[in-house]
Amino acid sequence: MPGSPGASWAVYKARFKAVFEGADPRVCAAFWLFGLINNVLYVIILSAALDLVGPNVPKGVVLLADVIPSFITKLCAPYFIHKVPYNIRILVFVALSACGMLIIALTPPLQDSRTIGIKMCGVILASLSSGGGELSFLGLTHYYGHFALAAWGSGTGGAGLIGAGAYAIATTTLQISARTSLLAFSFLPVIMLISFFLILPQGPLRSTAKLTEYEAVEEEETDEIESTEQAHGEQEGLLASSMRSSSARSFESVDAGRANRAWRSFKANLRRSRGLFFPYMLPLLLVYIAEYTINQGVAPTLLFSLESSPFEEYRSFYSTYNAIYQVGVFISRSSTPFVKVHHLYLPSLLQVANLVILTLHAIFNFIPHFYIVCIVIFWEGLLGGLVYINTFREITDNVPKEDREFSLGATSVSDSGGICVAGFVSMAFEVWLCNYQVGHGRNFCKLQ
């Protein structure tokens, strides 16, 4: 019968199969592992923040050491990293992340300024690897299509769950020391080598006549683009005009000075970055500022009395919120084959609304139950993951092919930039909210 459960199941099965038609399992597996390993060490380092610096040093120090180098890498590297082949990049990233984790793990656990400084050097190396890896792997999806991007997004979402869960199980359930756990995790980057050299099909890279630098835009053509942008005010039109002009130009002669070519290429890419800002970078920046301000600055103050909650100690609230947030991120970053969001500003503004609502609750205490806050935190994770993965999907769909690899890498600076801003804001915001609560008779934040 047409309306029978069996017929409905057959329809859903056919639709599900159609969604994944043409997907290469090796490509999906490789990019899922890329996303997982590139991000999991970042999560493990944040999970180990207390063990790295001790109770008397602000944990924001670890967050900033884990994010600022990545942000600087994403800000600068897109303009020169295209000259380095992907296989060399992978080797460098694996070496940096493994060395960083080994430095963290092998430094004596004395909590003085010298040992903490050495550990932060290890965190910085791992952060440089993570930032360079993210912009490189996003650029690499250009050669492997939508399923590569979807697998990458799902892997990065899984990194939050697996990283935090693995560290908690190792140090709490299995009673392994933090030092031994971090030493074991330092070998995870080897999986990245296996994924690239043994799992990922190399055909798309080999068959692509890859230039040693991105397509350059002629000086007079960039002026024309600039005037077009001023006349129409459309950033997407800038990219389209740039590509039409680039496809029509003739290659510079071999005798042209390399320094001149490099300078022209750099200026052209700066113009392309400006064209990416409003459609893609700004909504991604907004959503990351809002969600990491919630996670680092507001969530530690979203506390209820233990009698009205399922917990026995106040520190359990924060870890629970973080786990719920990571579940939402994983689901939404894995959803791109099924859910597509074209208007990126809507979920970004909804995330800002979450920040406002939860901040007002931290001040005025109007949300009656802990479980309602959990729902808002889960929604926060969904929105953050949706904006992240759909930003890069929109670039893949709408940016001309010649400009796509650069655009994917350059836009990745927004998430790290948002985390950096949120890290500085949160350190002051949490203190202010906690002091306000204590001043109004709620001292839960001092009992963690």
pLDDT, tens only, 334-355: 988 888 999 999 999 999 999 9
Q: What pLDDT was estimated at residue 64?
A: 86
pLDDT tens for residues 357-371?
A: 999 999 999 999 999
Q: Report if residue 113 sits inside a domain.
A: yes
Q: What pLDDT was estimated at residue 2?
A: 53
Q: What is the CATH number of the domain that holds 159?
A: 1.20.1250.20
| Number of neighbours of residue 297 by Cβ within 10 angstroms | 25
Three-state secondary structure call for residue 111:
coil
Under 8 Å between Cβ of 350 and 383: yes
Does pLDDT of 247 surpass 60? no
Question: Running DSSP on this structure, what letter comes out for residue 55?
Answer: T
Residues 295 and 202 in one domain: no
Q: What pLDDT was estimated at residue 239?
A: 47
Q: Report if residue 6 sits inside a domain.
A: no
Q: Report if residue 16 sits inside a domain.
A: no
Question: Running DSSP on this structure, what letter comes out for residue 256?
Answer: S
Residues 196 and 144 in one domain: yes
Q: Report if residue 2 sits inside a domain.
A: no
Between 247 and 141, where is the model more confident?
Answer: 141
Residues 170 and 71 in one domain: yes
> Phi and psi of 308, rounded to 5°?
-100, 10
Q: Report if residue 421 sits inside a domain.
A: yes
Q: What pLDDT was estimated at residue 8?
A: 60
Under 8 Å between Cβ of 129 and 97: yes
Domain that holds residue 224: 219-267
Residues 247 and 290 in one domain: no
**Stated pTM of the model:** 0.81
Residues 59 and 194 in one domain: yes
d(CA 239, CA 254): 27
| Number of neighbours of residue 216 by Cβ within 10 angstroms | 22
Q: Which residues contact 393 (CB under 8 A, 6 or more apart)?
A: 146, 149, 336, 340
Question: Running DSSP on this structure, what letter comes out for residue 399?
Answer: S
Residues 40 and 158 in one domain: yes
- Show which of 163, 180, 210 is a domain's final residue: 210
d(CA 381, CA 333): 10
Q: What is the CATH number of the domain that holds 334?
A: 1.20.1250
pLDDT tens for residues 156-214?
A: 999 988 998 888 888 878 889 889 999 999 999 999 999 999 999 998 877 654 444 44
User: Two tokens at 142?
Assistant: 């250009």
Q: Which residues contact 344 (CB under 8 A, 6 or more apart)?
A: 279, 280, 283, 284, 387, 390, 391, 394
d(CA 89, CA 307): 53
Residues 227 and 199 in one domain: no
Residues 228 and 123 in one domain: no
Residues 241 and 162 in one domain: no
Three-state secondary structure call for residue 326:
helix
Residues 120 and 200 in one domain: yes
Residues 247 and 228 in one domain: yes
Q: Report if residue 386 sits inside a domain.
A: yes
Helix pair angle (401-411, 258-276), 10° resolution: 70
User: Two tokens at 310?
Assistant: 């399922």
pLDDT tens for residues 53-109?
A: 876 776 778 888 989 999 999 999 988 888 899 999 999 999 999 999 999 999 987
Residues 440 and 304 in one domain: yes
Q: Report if residue 5 sits inside a domain.
A: no
pLDDT average, residue stretch 269-287: 91
pLDDT tens for residues 386-440?
A: 999 999 999 999 999 888 989 999 999 999 999 999 988 988 898 899 999 999 9
Report the number of distinct structural domains present in the chain.
3
d(CA 57, CA 358): 26
Q: Report if residue 395 sits inside a domain.
A: yes
